[in-house]
Amino acid sequence: MSLRRIMVTAVRNLHPVTLSPSPRINILYGANGSGKTSVLEAVHLLGLARSFRSTRLNPVIQYEQPACTVFGEVQLAEGGTSNLGVSRERAGEFTIRIDGQNAKSAAQLAELLPLQLINPDSFRLLEGAPKIRRQFLDWGVFHVEPRFLPAWQRLQKALRQRNSWLRHGTLDPASQAAWDRELCLASAEIDEYRRNYIKALKPVFERTLSELVELDGLTLSYYRGWDKDRELQEVLASSLLRDQQMGHTQAGPQRADLRLRLAANNAADILSRGQQKLVVCALRIAQGHLVSQARRGHCIYLVDDLPSELDDQHRRALCRLLEELRCQVFITCVDHELLREGWQTETPVALFHVEQGRITQTHDHRE
Ligand SMILES: Nc1ncnc2c1ncn2[C@@H]1O[C@H](COP(=O)(O)OP(=O)(O)OP(=O)(O)O)[C@@H](O)[C@H]1O
Ligand SMILES: [Mg+2]
């Protein structure tokens, strides 16, 4: 998938604008505070109906404006186009439109516009809570395995049921046993999809990483959320008392994690900031390859402040890998001289200068 047109109204400091990006490389450059990240945020809003900068959406809406709106014309993998629109009002009202129809959930947007974000916060994927890595993992599984979402929804329902029973004990034992069986079935299914996904991701990740940076011995492994040698049913039975004390279920896929280790240490404790950024880039680029392989279209990459924390050699290596993905990429930087050169002559590169919220295209990929 790629965005053929983007229309942005009242997002942060951006003046109303219509962009016709290149289907491949797009570079947004300009001074600090000019609005570069805001453009990426607008695309993110279109793909996920949320911001990556804050959990609250009101700060995204331009001061004194009642609502912000982003429209996009998406070139679909199977041919044809789709028109997406996301609008958010100050009062909290949200509208998602897909081809003229109101959409019920943001998952529909995510399916049409798979986005990968790489920004200066990305190191949290390594350092942060397991939830962040689970979201990364599940994003990948969701985009390659259509059976994942229904299984995940079943798990959430069974888990809510069990946790409520642990706290209040209102359900009779036979009914709860039936819910537990459902929980175990959904868990086994999710575990299988996640395991298969990691098996496919690992070699692509390792190859990508080796092309970016020398980090021999870095390993990626998957923890499913409960003892690998025991059935979940058995684990649940043996930890029932503790679960009741805690008021929620301790073991299961809701506790899964990815582990990145280097020389018997947690990679996040060892790697420099630049190395962490490269590992995260390798993970996200590997995910993009798997989406392409699954023939469900290409991801769109949003890379905020690409040059930060990278030296010349690593910056070039990252650009080369992004280019090889053959996806649409939006890159921001302060100094475009760093990114202007080095692309293959046949790769369409568009340059946009962002200045106090106004965007001017300074190089058209069709020229
Ligand atoms: N709701 C809002 N309404 C109007 N302006 C806003 C709003 N929220 C933020 N701004 C302003 O928008 C401007 C653009 O911010 P943005 O983060 O996009 O800049 P940037 O070009 O990415 O800068 P940097 O190079 O420092 O990362 C900032 O000056 C910010 O103060
Ligand atoms: Mg910025």
C-alpha gyration radius of the chain: 22
Query: Number of helices (H) and strands (E), helices first, in the chain?
Result: 12, 15
> Are 131 and 271 in a shared domain?
yes
> Are 287 and 301 in a shared domain?
no
DSSP characters over 172-219: -HHHHHHHHHHHHHHHHHHHHHHHHHHHHHHHHHHHHHHHH---TT-E
Structural domain boundaries enclosing 181: 120-295
Q: For residue 169, what pLDDT is reported?
A: 81
Mutate to test the pocket of ligand 1, among 8, 34, 39 (most ligand atoms within 8 A of CB): 34
The ligand minimizing its distance to the Cα of 15 is: 1
- 295, 310, 340 - which closes a domain: 295
**Count of beta carbons in the 10 Å neighbourhood of residue 337:** 8
Domain total in the chain: 2
Residue nearest to atom 11 of ligand 1 (CA): 13
Q: Is residue 52 a contact partner of residue 44, using CB atoms and an 8 Å limit?
A: yes
Q: For residue 366, what pLDDT is reported?
A: 67
Q: Is 88 in the pocket of ligand 1 (CB under 6 A)?
A: no
- 295, 320, 340 - which closes a domain: 295
Q: For residue 294, what pLDDT is reported?
A: 87
Distance 37 CA to ligand 1 centre (A): 7
CATH number at residue 261: 1.20.1050.90
Residue nearest to atom 31 of ligand 1 (CA): 33
Q: Is 334 in the pocket of ligand 1 (CB under 6 A)?
A: yes
- 268, 295, 322 - which closes a domain: 295
> Are 85 and 164 in a shared domain?
no
In the predicted model, residues of the chain with pLDDT beneath 50 are none
Residue nearest to atom 8 of ligand 1 (CA): 12
> Are 102 and 185 in a shared domain?
no
The predicted-structure confidence for 216-269, as pLDDT tens digits, reads as follows: 899 999 999 999 999 999 999 999 999 999 999 999 999 999 999 998 999 999
Q: For residue 49, what pLDDT is reported?
A: 82
CATH number at residue 359: 3.40.50.300
Q: For residue 367, what pLDDT is reported?
A: 65
